[in-house]
Amino acid sequence: MPPRSPDAVDPESIQIARDFMSYCDTNLVAFSAVAEREEMQINDDKRVTSRTCTFCKRESRVNLQSCPRCKAARYCDEECQRADYKGSHRRDCAEFVHPPRTRAFRTHLIGDETYPHSPIFAHAHEDGIGCWISTGNKIDC
């Protein structure tokens, strides 16, 4: 069947198509604005988290040193790192540095990252299985 010429399309169909395109354009702008705000919030969360000591919770003007093993915990100095490691981080770090990589433990893929940015270690799980919860409101169980 040969394509219709533009003259053969009824005016009502043309108006419906224009309205639909206008609707799509309007919503695209709205969705883009929301996505941009969310991206800015994620970047702010990353910036703040990278400057807050995991142990003493003080915020620093410079980036802190990450735990050399898990890369998730951040410390303002060796004293905080040692104190946290002796307290609870040793267990947390050992449990989560090499977790199982199965879909049962991952509810969704997160790009090339092994874990969400700046996870909070899961606690209070008798079986040692928990969830990674990031400051960006992402959960990885």
Phi, psi of 75 (to 5 degrees): -135, 150
Closest CA to 49 of 69, 80, 71, 34: 71
Higher per-residue pLDDT: 119 or 63: 63
pLDDT computed for residue 83 by the predictor: 93
* The two three-digit tokens of residue 20, written as one number: 């639909």
* Span 25-37, average pLDDT: 74
Residue with tokens 């299985």: 129
pLDDT at 7 over 60: yes
Classified as helix, coil or strand, 132 is strand
Q: How far is CA 107 from CA 89, 121, 122, 132, 137, in A?
A: 25, 17, 16, 11, 14
* Span 1-20, average pLDDT: 74
Classified as helix, coil or strand, 133 is strand
- Chain segment 35-74, per-residue pLDDT in tens: 777 776 665 555 555 678 888 988 887 778 888 887 778 8
Residue 103 and residue 115: Cα distance in Å, rounded?
A: 13
Residue 110 and residue 15: Cα distance in Å, rounded?
A: 42
